Copies of this chain bind each other. A is one copy, B any other.
Amino acid sequence: MIRFECDYTEGAHPRILERLIETNFQQTPGYGVDEHCQRARDLIRRACDAPEADVHFLVGGTQTNKTIIASLLRPYQGVIASESGHIAIHETGAIEAAGHKVISLPKNREGKLSSAQIRRVWAAHYAEDMPEHAVQPAMAYISQPTEYGTLYSLEELEEISRTCRECGLYLMVDGARLGYGLAAEGCDAGLPDLARLCDVFYIGGTKVGALFGEAVVFPRGKELSRDFRYYIKQNGGMLAKGRLLGIQFETLFSDGLYLEISRHAVRMARKLQDAFESHGIEIRYPSTTNQIFPVVPNDALARLSGKYAFSHVEPVEGDRSVVRFCTCWATKEENVDSLIRDLPAALSAQ
């Protein structure tokens, strides 16, 4: 089986494994106060052009989303998200388990939340006679890239950020696939832009070259992250051997590795999307990153599914389905080429 169903089908970039072996018998204190973590923090601060940033490392995305949101919201507050946002549908109610409503709004056709939507929710809340009868919106959550592989432009981010500041809402960016966004053609918002525009964001490692790990960045330092380590521990994200996270991010943020491997994934995805398009296949979401969303006849999918793994998004008219193919840092070009070669036959029975 050649797997395109997600971007965590392999282990880690070899340079990370090498570093784990080199450092294996070093003795370090636990829980992320070791030198590797410190160096990784410095590298990230530099990449973000945010020398004051407070940086923490957690293991996975759901845990990271829950921990951040639990740390910033008061019990009666909720977080605004697109209905396709990861926290809204794919985290088994982790945010609700932390006591907070996810205020889900319809995604626009690029899978995004808009500044106007955020403002409307906020305005509607305070327009009530007794707003205290409803959950108070306190944060906007967006994913960059989105769950549909699309990107917020710098202009969109600026506008969302402005709205959030005017409304007194926190802005959080889920960057589980951030590398694939930064590496995408046309991406005009870099790490320093995120650091400037949002209150907290994270840089995904799990899907971008690491065994696991997410680097949380509070750009303005301890202001919003005082006692954040208590939250990490309470939410089960305080890795005993914290250095494993430090070593991985140290490696990813040395010698441009993070961007380099991300670019590869994006190139593979573009190549695959081009192939689908060359056969007249509609692409449902205008992703420019490592995920592609072709609308494929169901019989073609049946033929492909013996050899290739991909994921189903939704059935649509005409006996077709939106499906998702992911590439990642580890995707072998030969596997992409194989799929491209197999496409004509699979699609021929249309």
Chain A residues at the B interface, C-beta cutoff of 8 Å: 1-3, 5-6, 8-12, 14, 17, 20-21, 23-31, 59-64, 66-67, 70-71, 74-76, 78, 89-94, 96-102, 104, 129-130, 132-136, 206-207, 211-212, 227, 229-241, 243-244, 309, 311, 330
| Nearest B residue (CB) for A227 | B76
| Nearest B residue (CB) for A6 | B30
Which of chain B's residues have a CB closer than 8 A to the CB of A27? 1-3, 9-10
Which of chain B's residues have a CB closer than 8 A to the CB of A235? 94, 97, 236
State the CA gap A220–B233 with chains docked (Å): 31
* 22 A–B pairs (Cβ distance < 8 Å), ordered by A: A2-B27, A3-B27, A6-B30, A9-B29, A11-B25, A11-B244, A12-B20, A12-B24, A17-B24, A20-B211, A60-B239, A66-B236, A67-B236, A76-B92, A76-B234, A91-B133, A92-B132, A94-B233, A94-B235, A96-B96, A206-B240, A212-B239
A74-B30 in contact (CB<8A): no
Partner of A132 from B24, B230, B243 at Cβ < 8 Å: B230
Partner of A76 from B62, B66, B93 at Cβ < 8 Å: B93
Count of chain copies: 4
- Write the nearest CB–CB distance from A314 to chain B, whole angstroms: 9
B11-A233 in contact (CB<8A): no
Which of chain B's residues have a CB closer than 8 A to the CB of A64? 236
B136-A11 in contact (CB<8A): no
A78-B101 in contact (CB<8A): no
Q: A97-B234, A233-B92 are in contact. Are A130 and B17 (CB under 8 A)?
A: no
A-B pairs, top 8 by smallest CB distance, nearest first, are A63-B236, A76-B230, A11-B24, A132-B229, A92-B234, A3-B27, A93-B135, A92-B233
A9-B28 in contact (CB<8A): yes
Which of chain B's residues have a CB closer than 8 A to the CB of A31? 130
Which of chain B's residues have a CB closer than 8 A to the CB of A237? 63, 236
B99-A11 in contact (CB<8A): no
A92-B11 in contact (CB<8A): no
Which of chain B's residues have a CB closer than 8 A to the CB of A244? 11, 211-212
Which of chain B's residues have a CB closer than 8 A to the CB of A98? 75
B234-A93 in contact (CB<8A): yes
State the CA gap A241–B60 with chains docked (Å): 10
A101-B93 in contact (CB<8A): yes
B29-A10 in contact (CB<8A): no
State the CA gap A78–B92 with chains docked (Å): 9
Which of chain B's residues have a CB closer than 8 A to the CB of A17? 17, 20-21, 24
A94-B236 in contact (CB<8A): yes
State the CA gap A338–B41 with chains docked (Å): 34
State the CA gap A26–B1 with chains docked (Å): 10
Which of chain B's residues have a CB closer than 8 A to the CB of A74? 227
Which of chain B's residues have a CB closer than 8 A to the CB of A30? 6, 8-9
B59-A233 in contact (CB<8A): no
- Write the nearest CB–CB distance from A272 to chain B, whole angstroms: 16
Q: A24-B12, A227-B132 are in contact. Are A100 and B89 (CB under 8 A)?
A: no
B76-A231 in contact (CB<8A): yes
A233-B9 in contact (CB<8A): no
Which of chain B's residues have a CB closer than 8 A to the CB of A230? 76, 92, 132, 136
